[in-house]
Structure formats: structure tokens, C-alpha cells
Structure 1
Amino acid sequence: MALMHYAQLIGTPGIEVHLHATTLYNSIYRGDDQMLVNAHVFGMNAYGAPLWHLRQETEGGVFDGYAESFEAVWALSRPATKE
């Protein structure tokens, strides 16, 4: 579903869109020291679920936990292509 909305960004300088087959319980959109985390809630569309705006302010905090998760999935992902 996300690819349907973000496919037009594929190929834009400075933006990378990747695909993965990992089961996740949130969507993470990251840019440098900030990220948006959209928690998945059973029976609820993403637009109605909580969205957290996290900033990296200290080491070892919530931001770092989500950043580690993001990096682990990113390592398993592959670049999306326009079809």
C-alpha cells in the first residue's frame, strides 16, 4: 500500500525507497536525526493509528531503538523500481 503512495518518489535524488518481506508492527520514515513512526493497530487504517515524531536527543533512547530496527530491516531490503 505504501508503494502505491510513494512510487512517484522513486528516482528522486536524495530519496531511497526500499522493499522488504519482514513482518513489521509499525512503519518508519526516517530523515537524519528525525523519524516518523506509525504504529500499526489491528482493525485500524494507518491514517487513524498513532504517529510519533521522534528526534534523536540522547543516546540509547526511544529514537535509537527504532533506528536499530530500521537499519536491520534496511539491510534485508532491496531498492524499489518503477514498473
Structure 2
Amino acid sequence: MWLTEYKCDGLRFDSANDLPRDLIQELTWKLKDQLPGRFLTAEVTPENPQSVHECGFHSVWVHSGYFDIIQQHRALLVCSQE
């Protein structure tokens, strides 16, 4: 498995909320069993820590902060052009 070959310390599941919950649970449980110590992060929108832990992830990837920064930069750009 490339996770061991490349010595990855973790894995991020993009669009985890679009995958069936039972599939996600099976994947995270098997990864934790076969590769203990790897950090599993879920990308879910909107962020929901409860669903992340129910599926066996260690953390959630937070997008809202990124979008907040983009919105603020656009607002500053508009103000500076007026």
C-alpha cells in the first residue's frame, strides 16, 4: 500500500460527506487496524465534528475559514476601488 511505501503519516478524505457512511466507517476502521498511528482527516461541508468522529476520523478539514478570508479580501478590494 502506498501509505506505507511513501511513509505517509496521514490521509485526507476529500468530500467525505458524499460517500456512504458505512463505506467510510469500514475504511477508517481498517486503516486504523492495519496502519495504527496514521492521522485520518475528513473534508466535510459544512464542518460537523460529531459526524467525523462517528465515522472514525481524527479531525475535520475546515473550509469555512478559507472562504471567510476570500470574502474579506474581496470586500477590501471593492472598498479600495471606490
Greater C-alpha radius of gyration: 2
Measured against the shorter chain, the TM-score band is: under 0.3
Instruction: Give the structure, 1 or 2, with the largest relative contact order (CA under 8 Å, sep 6 or more).
Output: 1
* TM-score between both structures, scaled by the size of structure 2: 0.27
Q: Which structure has more strand as a fraction of its residues?
A: 1
Determine which structure has the larger helix proportion and give its number. Answer: 2
TM-score for the superposition, normalised by structure 1: 0.26
